Structure 1
Amino acid sequence: MTVYFIGAGPGDPELITVKGQRLIRSCPVILYAGSLVPEPVLQGHSAEQVVNTAELNLGEIITLLQEAHERGLDVARVHSGDPSLYGAIGEQIRELRALDIPFEIIPGVTATAACAALLESELTLPGIAQTVILTRYGTTSPMPEGEQLHDLARHRATMAIHLGVRQLPAIVAELLPHYGSDCPVAVIHRASWPDQDWVLGTLADIQERVAAKDFRRTTLILVGRVLDPGGFTESALYDAAHRHLYRPGHD
């Protein structure tokens, strides 16, 4: 028996790995985070028990996993996006280890990747940004020392900010001194869902644009020059003058 933590992707039921889909369709028990995982992700399953865990607490979830373990039944524990990012699997794993229950993590497509695809953007461009910072805006729980937004903003890297649309004025205020008022910003609502929507602006006008859309939750904020880079250096990867193992020089 194994508990499989499966990343279901950002919303589109087709943005799930083949392995994740296979396990969902074969596991006799499914526990899924229904607040963010759409039911079509479960299509084709043959499970004898399917539980939406959105209204359950940690203890109740662990009890269900323990019961499945005692019955020798594999569990598809389905989370949105990639379970290793803001998936709240750490505390579940700690409990499973204490109970000596086997588990495995199946990666998934992140919300950041879905947003970049929607915006037709590459988040790392030569000479513009070679670093992507995935973070959240601290509200219900404080950020660790050194991870406050103004600390991270000093790097001027491409930044993906989760759970922050309600604090957009404060976020803009912390980013402005480091990125500048003309820095491109995108706020994406429910990327890859049927009702996805987004706005693209700058730090100078993004608050007004978001207010017009009335985005309140389930959004991701992307910040960085890569969103509107203008001219940038081409990658060495496909440069005809660049030689490497698969494209050696010719005499």
Structure 2
Amino acid sequence: MSTATGSAGKVWIVGAGPGSPDLLTLRAARAIEQAEVLIWTDSLVNPQLAAMAPAHCERIRTSTLTLEEVMAVMLERVAAGRRVVRLHDGDTCLYSALNEQLCRLLDADVEVEVVPGLSAYQATAAALRAELTIPGMVQTIVLSRAGGRTGVPERESLPHLAALGASLCLYLSARHVAEVQQELLQHYPADTPVAIGYRISWPDQWLQVVPLSAMAQVSEERQLIRTTLYLVSPALRAPDTARSLLYSASHDHLFRPGAR
């Protein structure tokens, strides 16, 4: 196992994407392939991604560790001059504990690079061959979660968000699906399409579009409690006549002046 004693180590905090290795960004793949220490969220990240690290790489699973334990390992390895990759599921800016880790690393004067990852809502929309912003129908995408044990600020409560009628992507909400459905029905029609995605892009992916009124029943029948995304959107039944103004022959713009 190589160590670069006497040289400065560095930490890469990397978004692993939704699961499939071919949905990693090139920058993320390079970071994993060059890692000397891989600290990975084994409860959520596809093991195939950890296998991309070189044979000499030290692999540390985090499913049984606290944040303090993870940080202790990370700081110890980087102090020894090692190239440390902290691999999170999805994207680093969504529910990844990035802020807590970054604060501790920067306080310790550790060099850090953050590498984004594809998010599950994007992979889900792609699997459905769906656009979530349809002209004249919906132009806003909201990423959020049910309150659960950690709660959300009152201004971001589900009823407030649902009142927008936007494309709503809900993470970490499967355990509260009955309550979520009840709240959404106050603002969306009962037949609003809901895509339920389990382990999107993994070999055992399951994805189905159901009416909002069946969201809880289907989730409970499938016994979904984790790694599940709900995508609630009128865009999932967009009419064939909906089209982007940008590409319309009747629309002028900077690169196509006077087009008719």
Which of the residues 20, 27, 40 maps onto 2:28? Answer: 20
Which of the residues 75, 97, 107 maps onto 2:106? Answer: 97
Equivalenced residue count is 251
User: What residue number does 1:194 align with?
Assistant: 203
Counterpart of 1:25 in structure 2: which amino acid? E
| Contact 1:3–1:104 (Cα < 8 Å) also in 2 | yes
Residue 15 of structure 2 corresponds to residue 10 of structure 1: no
What is the CA distance between 1:135 and its match in structure 2? Answer: 0.3
Relative to 1, partners in 2 of residues 1:131 and 1:101: Cα closer, same or farther, differing over 3 Å?
same
Relative to 1, partners in 2 of residues 1:228 and 1:60: Cα closer, same or farther, differing over 3 Å?
same
| Contact 1:200–1:206 (Cα < 8 Å) also in 2 | no
- Name the SS for the 2:213 alignment partner: coil
- Mapped to 2, the partners of 1:149 and 1:187 lie a distance apart of 18
User: What residue number does 1:233 align with?
Assistant: 242
TM-score calculated relative to the size of structure 1: 0.94
TM-score calculated relative to the size of structure 2: 0.91
User: What residue number does 2:6 align with?
Assistant: none
What is the CA distance between 1:77 and its match in structure 2? Answer: 0.8
- Mapped to 2, the partners of 1:93 and 1:119 lie a distance apart of 35
- Mapped to 1, the partners of 2:228 and 2:114 lie a distance apart of 25
User: What residue number does 2:39 align with?
Assistant: 31
Q: Deviations over 1:81-113 (max 9, x none)?
A: 101101111111111121111111100000110
| Contact 1:127–1:232 (Cα < 8 Å) also in 2 | no
Relative to 1, partners in 2 of residues 1:182 and 1:94: Cα closer, same or farther, differing over 3 Å?
same
- Report the RMSD for the aligned CA atoms in angstroms: 1.6
Counterpart of 1:186 in structure 2: which amino acid? A
- Mapped to 1, the partners of 2:78 and 2:107 lie a distance apart of 13
- Mapped to 2, the partners of 1:65 and 1:40 lie a distance apart of 22
User: What residue number does 1:128 align with?
Assistant: 137
User: What residue number does 1:60 align with?
Assistant: 69
| Contact 1:199–1:209 (Cα < 8 Å) also in 2 | no
- Mapped to 2, the partners of 1:107 and 1:60 lie a distance apart of 24
Residue 124 of structure 2 corresponds to residue 112 of structure 1: no
Counterpart of 1:118 in structure 2: which amino acid? A
Moved over 6 A (4+): none
- Name the SS for the 2:258 alignment partner: coil
| Contact 1:123–1:132 (Cα < 8 Å) also in 2 | yes
User: What residue number does 1:50 align with?
Assistant: 59
- Mapped to 1, the partners of 2:215 and 2:154 lie a distance apart of 28
- Mapped to 2, the partners of 1:109 and 1:80 lie a distance apart of 9
Which of the residues 216, 221, 227 maps onto 2:225? Answer: 216
Q: Any gaps of 5 or more consecutive residues in structure 2?
A: 1-8
Choose 152-161 or 215-224, whichever is displaced more: 215-224
- Mapped to 2, the partners of 1:247 and 1:30 lie a distance apart of 49
Q: Any gaps of 5 or more consecutive residues in structure 1?
A: none
User: What residue number does 1:85 align with?
Assistant: 94
Counterpart of 1:109 in structure 2: which amino acid? L
| Contact 1:6–1:107 (Cα < 8 Å) also in 2 | yes
